[in-house]
Every structure is written in structure tokens, then in C-alpha cells.
A and B are shown apart, each in its own frame.
Chain A
Amino acid sequence: MRNRSQFSEWIDARTGLVSRVSGLSEEPVRGGAGLRHVFGSALAGAFLIQLITGLLLMTSYVPSSSHAWGSVWFIEREMMLGWVIRGLHHFGSSAVVILLALHLVQTIVRASYRAPREFNWWLGLIMMFAVLGLALTGYLLPWDQKGYWATRVATNIAGTTPVIGPLAQQVLVGGIEYGNQTLTRLYGLHVGVLPLVIVLALLGHWALARRHGLNGKDRPERTDTYWPSQAFYNLAAIGLVLAILLGVVIYEGGAGLEAPADPTGTDYPARPEWYFLALYQLLNEFESDTEIIGTMVIPGAIVTILFLLPILDRLFPKRLIHFGACALIFGVLGGAGYLMTKALVADWNDAAFILARQEADEQRDRADQLASAHGLPPEGAGYLMARDPLSRGMNLLEANCLSCHAYGGKVRVQMQVAQPSAEDLAAADPSRFADLGEPLSDSVLRALAFALPEDFDAEEITRDASDVTQTTVVLKGRNAGGERVEAELVEGRSHVIVQTEAIQSASDLEGFGTRDWIRGLLEDPSSPKYFGLVPQCSGMTEWKAESQLTPEQLDAVADFFVEYVIPYREGISAAAWELQFEDPENQHPGYEHYMNECANCHFWGLGGADGTGVDAPNLYGWGSDTWTRRMIEEPGARDLYGYLADHEQMPGFEGQLTQEDLDVVIRLLKGDFLPLRASENASAAEPEAAAIAVDAPEQTD
């Protein structure tokens, strides 16, 4: 016993703590200190890192379906080094799983499950399940797209358990719908139940490990004690784990956060964390009627054998069981590795997955941008994207409007992925696109021939080899319906991405309801942006042919719309509105031109002249939210385009869109939204120009 201070003696006399600790630290390490004993301690160390970072995260996280995402976003983006803490916790879970696997393999290889260490083995297995439970519940908590969809999949797998499955699922989810109760339950498991199980089991595991000593051959020439030699190796191992973790966190820039959970979205490519990827692939290996083999039978059998190992060891020849156990664990790890690789390769080759992943990345960046700019709405993260015209509004526009209209020159583009099998390629005719000028390999020609229909009319083919990592071939042409089609493939990969553009047959909606739009219309109504593609709406073009208004006068009319027409307020009658212009002193300069030129055809509230027999929509409140909403819901109304024949009218959307959806669509048309980040616009020149424009007025001051 070393010299102790009086203070240590005082403590020791009352608690016995010092003697106990030094007793433990002086304990001899069988076979000498070394790296072969570090796995258990490194695992405990990694768990401790999780415990510390987890407690830190608890001080800021909110387990609610509306605010979990926001709180995680806040940790990640606003709190000092929050991304490091969360990154350590996130990647730390991988470290725990890897170290767990190593510890398990070592235990089996050394046959340390044998008597008298059975309880140690069983406690270890219990902790393994608790760790996997932590890993699963953990990545659901941010309630982002990944967490949400993973929760659905995981709880539905639980639901397929025979007999108790559906009940267990309902208890776990906290009902049938996924929401606050799901999150609070999973949170309770993650921060309370499972860590408690591990800590208690770990205390027992550790005490038993001390009782039985480390398992290793005695080497009498080595007389190391636990402190300081083995402690050094253990700390070195934990330090190494932490250093790697920190490196990964810095390299990856933190754990990342997907867009907020969107239960209505359909194309989120949900994949579990890598350590569950093998289970995920195992699930995919079975048809639905035998799926339970993948989800329950195989994992269940492996678990049962592991639990029974110490007992089998007594019933059967020890060496046979040891050989079997080693074969099992390496078989399981090898099989898991194989399944994981298979899942990764499948995704890498799956163009639909890649496209969905790209879209998920865009949504993730947009959510981050919106949250950074304005914070989250009080109702929660679910409304972040739903109120964003560029996200929700653009989806609605694409789904409902862009098969006829354009937005900023873009029409609806349908994207399909052709994924030919080897037989498909063999059957395809490589000569179809062989004489378009580019030297293309046989496999590329066959893939294109497979992807494009017989009546496809090829126009142009380009081969871009400027990117050293991949050569891209693009074939442009038209299909039988005259729609523009673009087929793209990367040499060496077999899938072809085919984009089909709808044919624009109505106006361009970008800026509808703004001065720019009305001014452009007054300038050139026959442009495809306005009524050029809508022969039934030729009235404006006919007016333009005869109108004598100068550009300045047209400006005045547009200004008149901005000041008096578009700011329409519900409830004010047309007559009351027109009273504003009774006083000639206050008359807007555009009013006169409006009355002389437009009111000949257009109704104007109660006034205006319709004696000419020319049909046109009523312009009272044109461009206001109310007018545009009616135009979307009921374009065939008598005061709108009811004068057109039924087949010439735009279809109405009454009852198909909620008020909130109409609002985001109208805001999208008016351009009332946060523009995408400059870096995503890929034009570096624009911000500079804007900066100059901002500077200019200061110089004139």
C-alpha cells in the first residue's frame, strides 16, 4: 500500500472507498496488461461518451412531434458547438455498435461464455439488445423524414410478431397514428428505460468480471496490475475511439438533419442506419407471405442460440459447441456484411433512389434555409414546408397546373427511369440511334433503344466526357404526341433517365397578379407567356393590333392596377370602389386609358361597358388573392371565363385544394417567398449586381 495523505485516511476510515479503489487498481492482470483486454473497457467508454453527450442533448431537445425537429435544428445550427455534441452522439452510436460486435466476437472466440461466466454472458446479451434498442429509438427522435419513416417501418415490423404484434405496436406507437405519444414513448425508452437497463446490467457485468478475473492464459513472467498499465491501454483505446469520432464529426460536418417529417410525402427514400441495413435487406429477401422468416425467425433463432450457448456447452462436447459458436458469429457477421453490401450496391444502381435522394437533399437544404431565415411557425416544423410556396406550392403547381401552364418558362417534366435487365438489353436494337453522329458503345445504344419507344423521333445526341469520373450521353427528341423528350445515361451504368416535357397550352404563371405580368401582357398579349398559345383568348391580341397607347400610357395602366385593382379588399362593393374616381382631381392617370381601352370589353364591377358583344372576364379586383382564388376554383363562372365553350375553359379546382394550399399557390404565382440561397442559383454574378444596385442610391445622396 502506498503512502496516503491524512485526508485519504480520514475518508477511508469512514467509507472504505480509498482501500476499495486501490484494491481494485492493484488487482493483477492475468497474462499481463495489453490491448487484448481493452474491448470491454472501450465499449464502456464509448457508452459513457454517449451518456455525457446524451445528457447534454437532453438539456435542449423537446420530444414533441411539432417541436422535436426545431429543437434539433437549434442544437445543430444555433447552439455553440451543438453540432459537435450531436455529431459525437450520433456517430458514437456507430462506435458502440462496432465495439459491441468486437467484444462479442472476442468473447465467443475465447469461449468466455463458459462456466463460471454464464451470468456475465447473459448480462452482456441483455445489454446488447438494450444498445440496439437505443440505436433504433435514437435516430427517430429528431422527427425528420428519416426518423419518421424509420419509426413507421420499425414499429410495423414489431406489428408482424405473431399474436402480440398488433397490440405491441399500438402500445409502442401510443395509438394508431404517429405523433406526440409515439415520440414521448420512444424518448422515454431512449433516455430512461434502456440506459437504466444498461447501467444496472453493466454494474453486474463489471462486478462479475472482477470476480472471475480476465480470461487469459497465465504468464508468470508478467506481473502487471490494473493501474496503471491496463488502465493506460484502456484509456488509449477510448482516446482512439474518441479521436476517430471527432474526426468523423468534423469531416461530416455533424450528424445532419433531414427535412421535417412529412406524413403526406410519398417519395422519401427511407433507409435505416447502416447497422440495421443488413436486417433491412434481409427483409427484402423474402416475399410478403414469408417475410416473417426475415423479420422474426432468422434473427430470433440466432438470439436463442446465443442465449443458450452456456447451456449447450454443458450438454454437448465443448469443442464442438465452441466451433459452432465461432462459425455462427462469423457466419452472422459475414452474412450481415454481404446483405449490407447488397443493399448499398442496389441503391447505388437504383436511379429512382438516387433521384429521390437528390430531392430529399433539396428539401433538407430548403428546410434549413427557411428555419434560418424566419424560425419555425408556432404550430411546429410540419408547417415549415407546407407554408413555403417554393416547396408545397411548387408541388401543387406541378401536380395541378403545369401540364398546361408554364412557370418561369418551365412546364411539367415527368421523369421516368428505365432500368433494363441483361435480357432487355440483348433484345434491344442497337442500330436505332447508331447514325446520329456520336460514336457510342453498343451497350449505350441498346440501353437507349430499350428506354425510348419505337415512335420516338430522335433529333440530337451529345456525349459529354468533360467530367473525368463519368461520361454522360444525352439524346433529345420528340415522342409521338410531339412532347419534348430527353434521355440521359451515364456510360457504364445501365439505367436511363427519361424526361418528358408537357406541351404548354396556357399562359406562364410566374408573376401572375403582379405589375410585371400585367405590363408584359399589355405589351405583347400574343407572346407564349400570355395568350399566344391560347387561341380561344385572342381578345387581347386583337385589342393590341388596334390600340394606340404609348409605352408610358401602358405603364400608367399597369400602375393603376397596382394601386387600385390588385389591393382589392373583400367586402368593398364595386360601386363604392368606383366612387374613388368621381373626383377628377384625384383621378389616377391610368384610369382614363383603362376606361377608354379596357372597359370596352371587360366588365368592371358594376360599371364598364359590355355593349360591344365582345366577351372578357370581369376585371374587378384582378390579381388580388380573392380574384385569383376564384379563378382557380371556378374559372367557368359567368363573370370569369364562362363565355368560353366548356371544352375551352380551364378546369376548376373547387373543393380540390384547401385554403392553405390555395394561399401558397397564389403566393408562388406572385413571387412572395424566400428565394433559394444564392449558392444554389449557381449564378455568382447576380448578388454582385444586386449589391451595386443597392449602393447606387447612396452615391446620389
Chain B
Amino acid sequence: MNRRQWFQFGAAAIGALIGLVLAVPGVAYLLSPLLKRRTDDSDFRTLARLGDLVEGQPRSFSIIEEQRDAWVSYPATPVGTVWLVRQPEGASEPVLALSAECPHLACKIKVSGDGKGFLCPCHASFFELDGSRVNRISPRGMDTLEVEPIDPNDPNAEIRVKFHRFRTGTEEKIPLA
């Protein structure tokens, strides 16, 4: 190795080292939102009593939660909406809980005009009352949420639902961490 090659090699090596020392923390810093996963601390929460629901008439309920926006903590405010649908007698689950977040592009789903199904107003995705797709705009049906088992004969039974968000635009229902 002559003097010139030695300098070439040294300059390249030091340059690469400098780049690395800046790039590693820089990339980690920018990717913080990916690297830091929030633990799933969502829990069942009471939304209504069984007697509040009438078969064939979905009702929406707000999910109220304290919110953390980076460094700011906000007091309890609505963070999401859940549609509760009373199922006919004899169904395995007396209540169906559907997230109001459209699996297409996360607009908010409302009850359609005739009250016989759901509609997402952004891109006209239609859903049945059980959340299944009517047209093929959304890649999957509405996302069902876990409901704590309840006694179908007790009108005072509390309906407790675990709220979750799911990735949009996929056929599969993938929970967001």
C-alpha cells in the first residue's frame, strides 16, 4: 500500500465512521414511533345495559379514555365509537359490538338511511347489520370487538367491550399495537 492508497483507505474509513456515528442515532431517533411499542393495556369497559338495546336498532356508544399525545396528557375524552347490535334470541352472543372505524380508510361508519345496515359516508361502503360487506369497497367487513360473556335473560346485565383499533386497507383484521 503506497501513501496515496493509505490516505484513500483512511479517508474512506473515517468518513464511513463519521457517517455511522451520526446515522445510527439519527435513524433510531426518527424511527422511535416504530421501535417503541405500547403495551396493550386496553380493558373491558361498560358501555350499556342489555335492556338499553332493542333488536334491529343498532346504537352507538363513545369510548372515553384519557389520551396521551406525545408529552401531553389530556383528560378523558371520546377516542372512538362502537356500534352495539342486539342479536335475536337464541343467538350464541346476545350482543354484537362493531367498531365504527371503517376498515377501508378509517372514516366513521353510520347507520344507513333505511336503518337496515351500516354505511361509511366517505366512499359508500355498505355493511349488513352483522357487519358483513354488501359491496366490495371495503376490503373486509366491519371489525368486531370482544364482548364479555353476559346472561341473555338479565336486562340489567352490563355490556362490557374491549376497544381496539385495526389496520385499515387489509383483508385480514390486524390489531394495531
Contact = CB atoms under 8 A, between A and B. Distances in A.
Interface string B60-74: 000000001011111
Interface in B64-98: 68, 70-75
Contacts of B31: 80
Contacts of B22: 49, 52-53, 88, 242
Contacts of A377: 72-73
B39 interface: no
Most buried by A among B26, B30, B68, B71: B71
A232 B11 CA distance: 4
Given A80-B35, A236-B14, A238-B18, A85 B71 contact: no
B10 A376 contact: no
B8 interface: yes
Given A82-B29, A246-B21, A376 B72 contact: yes
B17 interface: yes
Interface SS, A side = helix
Interface string A77-106: 011111011001000000000000000000
A88 B72 CA distance: 26
Nearest to B75: A378
Interface string B1-42: 001100110110011011001101110111110011000000
A219 interface: no
A213 interface: no
A587 B31 CA distance: 61
A15 B4 CA distance: 28
Nearest to A379: B72
Given A80-B29, A81-B28, A231-B11, A242 B21 contact: yes
A378 B7 contact: no
A371 B29 contact: no
B29 A81 contact: yes
Contacts of B21: 242-243, 246
Contacts of A78: 32, 36, 70-71
Interface of B: 3-4, 7-8, 10-11, 14-15, 17-18, 21-22, 24-26, 28-32, 35-36, 68, 70-75
B7 A229 contact: yes
Interface SS, B side = helix
A229 B18 contact: no
A612 interface: no
A74 interface: yes
Interface residues of A, number: 38
Most buried by B among A49, A71, A231: A231
A14 interface: no
Contact of A70 (B7, B18, B72): B72
Given A80-B36, A232-B14, A376 B29 contact: no
Given A235-B14, A239-B14, A375 B71 contact: yes
B35 A70 contact: no
Contacts of B7: 33, 228-229, 231-232
B25 A81 contact: yes
A113 interface: no
Nearest to A81: B25
A49 B21 CA distance: 11
10 contacts: A78-B36, A81-B28, A81-B29, A82-B32, A227-B11, A235-B18, A238-B14, A239-B17, A375-B72, A377-B73
Interface of A: 33, 45, 49, 52-53, 56, 59, 67, 70-71, 73-74, 78-82, 84-85, 88, 227-229, 231-232, 235-236, 238-239, 242-243, 246, 371, 374-378
A59 to B, nearest CB: 7
Nearest to A55: B26
B122 to A, nearest CB: 29
A535 B158 CA distance: 57
A378 B29 contact: no
A49 B23 CA distance: 11
Given A80-B36, A375-B71, 13 more contacts: A33-B7, A49-B22, A56-B30, A78-B71, A84-B29, A88-B22, A88-B25, A228-B7, A229-B3, A231-B11, A242-B22, A246-B21, A371-B71
A49 B71 CA distance: 27
Nearest to A374: B73
Contacts of A85: 25-26, 29
A232 B7 CA distance: 6
Nearest to B36: A80
A228 B73 CA distance: 54
B99 to A, nearest CB: 26
Contact of B25 (A84, A228, A232, A235): A84
Given A82-B32, A229-B4, A239 B18 contact: yes
A229 B7 CA distance: 5
Nearest to A240: B14
Contacts of A79: 29, 32
B70 A74 contact: yes
Contacts of B68: 375
A71 B70 contact: yes
Nearest to A84: B25
Contacts of B72: 67, 70, 375-378
Contacts of A73: 71
Most buried by A among B4, B14, B73, B74: B14
Contacts of B28: 80-81
Contacts of A70: 70-72
Nearest to A381: B71
B28 to A, nearest CB: 4
A88 B22 CA distance: 9
B30 A375 contact: no
Most buried by A among B11, B17, B74, B75: B11
A521 B99 CA distance: 55
A371 B70 CA distance: 11
Q: List the 8 shortest-distance A-B pairs measured between CB atoms, nearest first.
A: A375-B73, A70-B71, A228-B7, A81-B25, A74-B71, A232-B11, A228-B8, A80-B32
A80 B35 CA distance: 8
A467 to B, nearest CB: 38
A93 to B, nearest CB: 16
Contacts of B71: 67, 70-71, 73-74, 78, 371, 375-376
Nearest to B9: A228
Nearest to B34: A80
A243 B20 CA distance: 12
Contacts of B3: 229
B80 to A, nearest CB: 19
B172 to A, nearest CB: 29
Contacts of A45: 18
B78 to A, nearest CB: 15
Contacts of B8: 227-228, 232
Nearest to A243: B21
Contacts of B14: 232, 235-236, 238-239
A74 B26 CA distance: 16
A192 to B, nearest CB: 21
B26 A56 contact: yes
A59 B31 CA distance: 11
